Every structure is written in C-alpha cells, then in structure tokens.
A and B are shown apart, each in its own frame.
Chain A
C-alpha cells in the first residue's frame, strides 16, 4: 500500500468525524440509519447482542447481503472481518467496501497475528483497549481506531474504561522526556516513530472513535466529552423500542455533546432502550480477543 493510499484512507476517517456509524443487518435498516443521519453504516449479519445470545462461530457477512446494503445507501458502507482472517478481508476489498473493521466481535481466526493491513488498498478500523493496542494496530496499517468497549451489552463502562486508558496513555507520553520515549516504545511493543508522533502531537496519528455499549444520547455525548471523535452504535439502536427516533437523537447528541439542555430534550421519550447486560455479568469478554 502506498503512502498516498494510506493518507487517503486516514482522510476518509476524517470525514466521518463528529458522526455516528450504525450497525445494520438489512438494506431496510441501512435506509433508516441513513435517513436518521448516520455518517456510515456497518453491514453485519447479526448485531453483537444477537451474536452474544446465539453463541457459536461468528464470521464475515454474506457478500450478497453486503451488496444489498451498498445499493440501498449512498453513505460509506463498512463490514467486519475476523481478526487475522486476511482472506475475508480480501473478499471485502473485492466488494469495494469503504472500510473493513477487523473486529473482535466476530470469532477470531488467528490468536497470534492480526491482518497485515498494509497489503490492502481499502482502509481498516481496529478496536483497542489502551494506547499500546491502538498503536500496534496502527503499526499494522489501521487508518482508524475505535475503543473496543464490550459490544452487545448496552453497558458503556468498558468503552469509558478503554477511552480513558487511551487518553491517559497519550497524556503520559506527552509528559515524557525525549530520551524516555525509546523505553516507552519497548514497553508498549510499538514502533518508536509512533510514540514520537504521540509525544509531539498529543493525539493518535489516526481518528479515534468510541464503540461497544453505547445505547443512549447521553452515552454518546459522554464518549465525545471523554475524547472520542465520533461513535459506533451497534445493538443500541436496532435493539431498542423506537430505532429511528433513537438513531436521530444519538446523531444530534454527538453534534451537541456539550450542551446539556439540548441533550435533555434529545433524551426525552425515546421509548425502551436496549435491555442490556452488565459487562461484569457476562461470560465471554469480546474485548479480550486480539490484543
């Protein structure tokens, strides 16, 4: 992948900033998401809450279903590949997907190696729980990062934990002396130049979204106030009582994340939120996949 292509891919993520990326499983849901103001949709066969409930092996979606969603909407369409499953990624690239999510939500295909994302022309987004994970994914070629959170729970605690960990990691590197950066790179098992970038710029070299457990406008605004540049909402929308209204409210909450009055209006009368499960009551922690 040329330097230029990587820049273009990072730039697409720039265009998604301040936006909401919504999980959809059908063309109809994709249209609802687009009409509600989604900046992109994530095409997948089952939303994380159902993956969690169903158990078993969870894989890349049927290309036919992805194509149906690509035809239904004009906004960018993303899709998930299993961690390390570079052939699923090749297939998604052949479908001209706009972004591949190498995702812990699906069953990992490789417990050691992630996909070498520099081999691809299409961009990748990857999950991270802390700064080390984020920089390792970037070193492998990810052009966008999202917190892992804990998908399919409707419990925002893990997304908060991961966003705080990433931001704390950044602040720590900013505070280091130049000669201390080498050891930090060693500690995090990441390339020196990425640590240097964070030291000089006080941020990741790519856009950083939040994901995993966002269910309400308040959750979305919380993540943006904590430093997310936008949010992914998975099960939170289409597992709720009134998906269309909730989707619209979350989109507006991300724009006006700092205005409690507007957030109060948006939070009114949204119907049932997804029921959710507490992240510490579940057996399978998806976030522990692929570190």
Chain B
C-alpha cells in the first residue's frame, strides 16, 4: 500500500530521551527536528554524556573520519558500540551510515561495524556530484532527499530491510534497531517523516 499522507507521530513514550552525537557535523539540524516533534534530547560530546540512559541515538552527517577519530579519542566508542549491540535504537545519516557499516568497500577504516551492509564512501564523487531528488522511502512516496558527497549501500546482508533505492542504488535501510540513510533528512526541516519513522517504528518498539 502506498501512502501519500504525512506520517503522523502517534505517540511518544513518556520521558523518552534521544541522544545526538554532537562531535562534528550537522547535529543541530537533527535537534531542530526533534524540537519540532516535541522530543527530549541531549548532546553527546564526552564520556560522561554517553554513560547516561537514553532511548535512541542519532549519528548525524559530517565527516566520518573526523567523527570516528573523536569517538575513539573521547572514549565514547566502546560504550556506544556495546549499547548498539545490545539493541539501542540508532539512526545514522550519511557519515552516520558509514560509522555503522560492517564493510566500507573503498576505505580500510571500520567504525562500529554493527550493521550488515557494505558501503561506498563518496560514492557519487566530489561536491559537483552532490544532488537532490524526490523518491520513496518504504511505503512513503514523495520524500525529499539531499545527497552531499554521499555514500551508498553496495550490498546488504540477509537481515537488512531495504527502504529506499535511487537510480538502482540502496540509499536507506534498516536492520532491527539500526536505521540508516545515505541522504540527509535533517536538511529538509519541513519534512520530518524519517525521524518520525525512527521514533515510531524503532524507538517506540524497543
């Protein structure tokens, strides 16, 4: 069934708290969307922040090498990785997708590696290859998508549900508690659909 209507936020669990990794990149844009949806959040910048209790984690767009470096140097990596492995709902956009990928086909680095996908970094080339489009996400049509020096998913493992395919490339997927998009839902602030999907279908179900 195709749904054209806006995806309404049905319920936010009382005292739900989302953590936003605020190491580098476009984390404020995610926070603005959470504000719009009336969802409580805080920023992770150091170990003490990561040790708090929270119901979901957002890994924003930015530079994955920078964020990967900071995750290690600020002692956040092990704490967050174990939380994700234990089922913490996590939503990674662009660089966040790269952080979660098990394999990166054109890079030796690996980060959390918790999601059974192989991604290609800067898969559309340099900034001249950045583009915007409108396509479907799961059952939803007409979703605006902005790709900035974006990666795409070359291969997805068995347990991975493919949610968006643009020009033959997988650009959004889910594996249990993990949701990733190669594009930036945080940059189209008036369309909050994908954040609502994350809250409703993943955070609320865990």
Which residues of A pack against B, CB within 8 Å?
4, 7-9, 11-12, 14-19, 34-40, 74-76, 96-99, 121-123, 248, 251-252, 254-256, 259, 262
Pick from B51-59, B120-128, B162-170 the stretch touching chain A: B120-128
User: How far, in whole Å, are A76 and B94 apart by their CA atoms in the complex?
Assistant: 14
- CB-based contact B25/A19 at 8 Å: yes
- CB-based contact B184/A11 at 8 Å: yes
B174 within 8 Å of A (CB atoms): no
A37 to chain B, nearest CB (A): 4
Nearest to A259 among chain B residues (CB) is: B46
- Report which of A37, A96, A251 forms a contact with B125, defined as CB distance below 8 A: A96
- CB-based contact A262/B62 at 8 Å: no
- Report which of B69, B122, B187 forms a contact with A36, defined as CB distance below 8 A: B69
B3 within 8 Å of A (CB atoms): no
B45 within 8 Å of A (CB atoms): yes
With A18-B22, A74-B107 as given contacts, are A12 and B127 in contact (CB-CB < 8 Å)?
A: yes
With A4-B132, A96-B128 as given contacts, are A15 and B63 in contact (CB-CB < 8 Å)?
A: yes
- CB-based contact B127/A255 at 8 Å: no
Nearest to A70 among chain B residues (CB) is: B126
- CB-based contact A8/B70 at 8 Å: no
A263 to chain B, nearest CB (A): 12
User: How far, in whole Å, are A9 and B187 apart by their CA atoms in the complex?
Assistant: 12
- CB-based contact B66/A15 at 8 Å: no
User: How far, in whole Å, are A107 and B69 apart by their CA atoms in the complex?
Assistant: 36
Pick from B26-34, B83-91, B153-161, B195-203 the stretch touching chain A: B26-34
Contact code string B133-157 (vs A, CB < 8 Å = 1, else 0): 0000000000000101100000000
- Report which of B125, B126, B131, B148 forms a contact with A15, defined as CB distance below 8 A: B148
With A17-B24, A96-B128 as given contacts, are A11 and B146 in contact (CB-CB < 8 Å)?
A: yes
User: How far, in whole Å, are A256 and B46 apart by their CA atoms in the complex?
Assistant: 8
Nearest to B26 among chain A residues (CB) is: A14
- CB-based contact B46/A251 at 8 Å: no
- Report which of A12, A19, A256 forms a contact with B66, defined as CB distance below 8 A: A19
Size category of the binding interface on chain B: 35 or more
B147 to chain A, nearest CB (A): 8
B1-58 residues at the A interface, CB under 8 angstroms: 22-29, 45-46
| A contact residues around B125 at 8 Å (CB) | 96
| B contact residues around A14 at 8 Å (CB) | 25-26, 29, 61, 148, 187
- CB-based contact A98/B127 at 8 Å: yes
User: How far, in whole Å, are A262 and B76 apart by their CA atoms in the complex?
Assistant: 14
| B contact residues around A74 at 8 Å (CB) | 65, 107, 121-122
- CB-based contact A255/B29 at 8 Å: no
| A contact residues around B65 at 8 Å (CB) | 34, 37, 74-75
User: How far, in whole Å, are A218 and B136 apart by their CA atoms in the complex?
Assistant: 46
User: How far, in whole Å, are A7 and B189 apart by their CA atoms in the complex?
Assistant: 13
| B contact residues around A254 at 8 Å (CB) | 24
A228 to chain B, nearest CB (A): 14
With A14-B29, A252-B73, A255-B23 as given contacts, are A40 and B63 in contact (CB-CB < 8 Å)?
A: yes
- CB-based contact B127/A99 at 8 Å: yes
| A contact residues around B122 at 8 Å (CB) | 74
- CB-based contact B23/A18 at 8 Å: yes
- Nearest first, the 9 closest Cβ-Cβ pairs linking A and B are A37-B69, A18-B24, A98-B127, A8-B130, A14-B26, A39-B63, A96-B126, A37-B66, A19-B24
| A contact residues around B45 at 8 Å (CB) | 255-256, 259
- A-B contact list, 6 entries, CB within 8 Å: A12-B148, A36-B69, A39-B25, A96-B128, A98-B126, A251-B66
- Report which of B24, B94, B107, B184 forms a contact with A39, defined as CB distance below 8 A: B24
B79 within 8 Å of A (CB atoms): no
- CB-based contact B148/A11 at 8 Å: yes
| A contact residues around B107 at 8 Å (CB) | 74
- CB-based contact A255/B70 at 8 Å: yes
- CB-based contact B126/A252 at 8 Å: no
- Report which of A8, A38, A248 forms a contact with B148, defined as CB distance below 8 A: A8
- CB-based contact B184/A255 at 8 Å: no
| A contact residues around B95 at 8 Å (CB) | 15
Nearest to A8 among chain B residues (CB) is: B130
Nearest to B187 among chain A residues (CB) is: A11
A284 to chain B, nearest CB (A): 32
| B contact residues around A8 at 8 Å (CB) | 127, 130-132, 146, 148
With A19-B25, A37-B69, A76-B149 as given contacts, are A11 and B130 in contact (CB-CB < 8 Å)?
A: yes
A108 to chain B, nearest CB (A): 25
